[in-house]
Amino acid sequence: MRKGAPPKSAREHVLAAEKRFVAAGLVFGHGTDNARDEAVFLVFDALSLPFNSNDTALDRALTGPENLAVSRLIDKRIESRKPAAYLTHHMRFAGHDFYVDERVLVPRSPIAELINSEFHPWLDVQTVKRVLEIGTGSGCIAIATALALPHATVDAIDISPDALIVAELNRTRFAQVSHRVRFIEADLFPTSNERYDLIVTNPPYVPSDECEQLPAEYLHEPRLALDAGADGLTLVRRIVAGAAKHLNAGGHLIIDVGEMAPVVDSEISTVNFTWVDLLHGGAGIGVAGRNDFM
């Protein structure tokens, strides 16, 4: 804010930031999909405003330090091209707030919708005892699942030691389920032949050559969490090949492969996925019961 400029309000900052984001050609997709929502996220975070703030809060003249805090955060988003969640170090997922940084993918999987519905109609919340998450990253899916399924223990796997450090930070934040969530460093599946009522995963599914062409925002995310080989199916194939032997009778695999769903359907014939019609946007969630594996 230049010297002598009148104090702004939160609303004015949002409108100004929206224009700057559009002019700078920023790319969205890490929790927001447009410049206005991104501006709201950052301005409200800088001011610690709840998202249901009323007009009085939105139009109050800000103090000098408040204006400076907002301006610095907006400038940083434009100059760094980092996703907003990496600047604020938090992201909401399935109704809960998780710590994130550049060691993990920014949480955004529409699996959140299934978690919020307690995986209805595929699972009975009262009977699910054991859950496996493959590729846990920040731990958000594992922890949110434990919160939604009160009788379940969750094993959550990641090959990245750095990602598991972040996941453990989040496990500490959710002490009420920390005793039911276990993080394991492994390559997709546990080394034992344990079986589960649910396997849930949002694996990497971006073809390698497409990774090279991603916008700058996505290049701040760990390549390991995005790159899935020449056709984008390297990890998906391994998960499908190994899932059946780790599922209990009546168990289910739920996988998020985003826009790769048609490719998975045409290229992988060893499982019969049902593709979920999501109510709140997104696509590519496949569900397969134990009997759907060939």
Bridge-based pairing state of the strands 285-289 and 247-256 = antiparallel
The pLDDT value recorded for residue 1 is 47
Give Cβ neighbours of residue 100 (< 8 Å, ≥ 6 apart): 85, 86, 89, 90, 91, 106, 107, 138, 166
Q: Environment class of residue 67 by beta-carbon count within 10 Å: exposed (0-12), middle (13-18) or buried (19+)? A: buried
The reply to whether 1 falls in a domain is no
CA angle at residue 170 from 167 to 174, to 5 degrees?
135
The reply to whether 200 falls in a domain is yes
Identify which has the larger pLDDT, 125 or 144: 144
- Boundary of a domain, candidates 20, 54, 86: 86
Mark whether 148 and 179 lie in a shared domain. Answer: yes
Mark whether 114 and 67 lie in a shared domain. Answer: no
Average pLDDT over residues 49-59: 93
149 has pLDDT over 60: yes
Mark whether 59 and 203 lie in a shared domain. Answer: no
Mark whether 75 and 95 lie in a shared domain. Answer: no
Q: Environment class of residue 277 by beta-carbon count within 10 Å: exposed (0-12), middle (13-18) or buried (19+)? A: exposed
Average pLDDT over residues 239-261: 96
Euclidean distance between CA atoms 203 and 177, whole angstroms: 24
Euclidean distance between CA atoms 177 and 143, whole angstroms: 7
Q: Environment class of residue 213 by beta-carbon count within 10 Å: exposed (0-12), middle (13-18) or buried (19+)? A: exposed
- Boundary of a domain, candidates 26, 57, 86: 86
The reply to whether 5 falls in a domain is no
**Number of CB atoms found within 10 A of residue 3's CB:** 4
Mark whether 97 and 243 lie in a shared domain. Answer: yes
Mark whether 161 and 223 lie in a shared domain. Answer: yes
246 has pLDDT over 90: yes
Percent over 90 (pLDDT), the chain: 93
| CATH number of 270's domain | 3.40.50.150
- Boundary of a domain, candidates 51, 86, 121: 86
Determine contact, residues 183/167, Cβ cutoff 8 Å. Answer: yes
Provide the mean pLDDT of the chain: 95
Residue 171: domain span: 91-292
Euclidean distance between CA atoms 200 and 122, whole angstroms: 12
The reply to whether 230 falls in a domain is yes
Mark whether 160 and 188 lie in a shared domain. Answer: yes
* The total number of structural domains that make up the chain: 2
Tokens 């939604």 found at? 148
The reply to whether 3 falls in a domain is no
